[in-house]
Structure 1
């Protein structure tokens, strides 16, 4: 009888210890990029590029790497849409601009990681709410990655108040 009571007590302790662990778990709350915010970023980037005389395509990704918005600009080459997606995916994956990633890869003594969909080209920028990456934008088609990146940064600036 004594062993049976100890078994019940031990079982109860294990059950309640598990219940405490479950109680400590919560739902994850995270910021997300809305469609309206993605559209504002896209318009801001396109406006900057158009003002500077560049025809570009762009991609805005959500925090899981899925396409939130893609625009193939008038008069752009067929490769620019996919290239913009890869730039955005690189920025999202490494949580820094795709240009910073390209420079890190070039300086590394070992080969870059073989992550499908990433590219070592400037023009992708993470979209951060505080320190949390909530999406990214990639721009392709301007005559140089630094110009693509400047357009992407101008787009993100359009929602700067939301990102504080």
Structure 2
């Protein structure tokens, strides 16, 4: 065998021993800039309906990335918005859908007993490239349907995100 052939075979053996690219998960992440745009979008969507809200955005690990509160919203809504986002993130389901399902299914009602979950509309998972990258939670908008609508409007205003299903 020539020296070149030996080197080529050695290179091929080395490459074959390397981990395949598929073994390392590639996943999009929610950035601070995107999170800030989401909370601003939710506040703006509700403001156009004369509703004042709090909006919270969590990353895929449940960490708070952004939070904004309109001046007139009660402080209890801060925690409600975070918990709605957490619930949407951990269940990968909009909290309005989850709350309705729990009300209709006796087996699902126990979800309300879990300390971090909040089964009130206003939490929506945020996805990109088919993967959940975080969640937005909205509270204080005068009801679960209003909170949900403002969260969905914020996501829909960002074409780089996967669009939520129509309700």
1:23 maps to 19
Q: What is the RMSD computed on CA atoms of the aligned residues?
A: 1.9
Q: 1:32: how far off? A: 0.4
Normalising to structure 2: TM-score of the pair? 0.79
1:96 is matched with which residue?
93
Pairing 1:139–2:135 present: no
Cα distance in 2 between the residues matched to 1:137 and 1:121 = 13
Unaligned runs of 5+ in 1: 1-19
Could you tell me how far 1:28 is from its partner in structure 2?
A: 2.1
2:65 equivalent to 1:68: yes
In the superposition, the TM-score normalised over structure 1's length comes to 0.80
Matched positions, count? 144
Larger radius of gyration: 1
Which residues of structure 2 form unaligned runs of 5+? 1-16, 163-167
CA distance in 2, matches of 1:130, 1:149: 22
- Higher mean alpha-carbon deviation, 99-108 vs 111-120, is at 111-120
Structure-2 residue corresponding to 1:128: 127
2:83 match: 86
CA distance in 2, matches of 1:147, 1:62: 23
Residue 46 of structure 1: CA displacement? 0.7
Partner of 2:150: 151
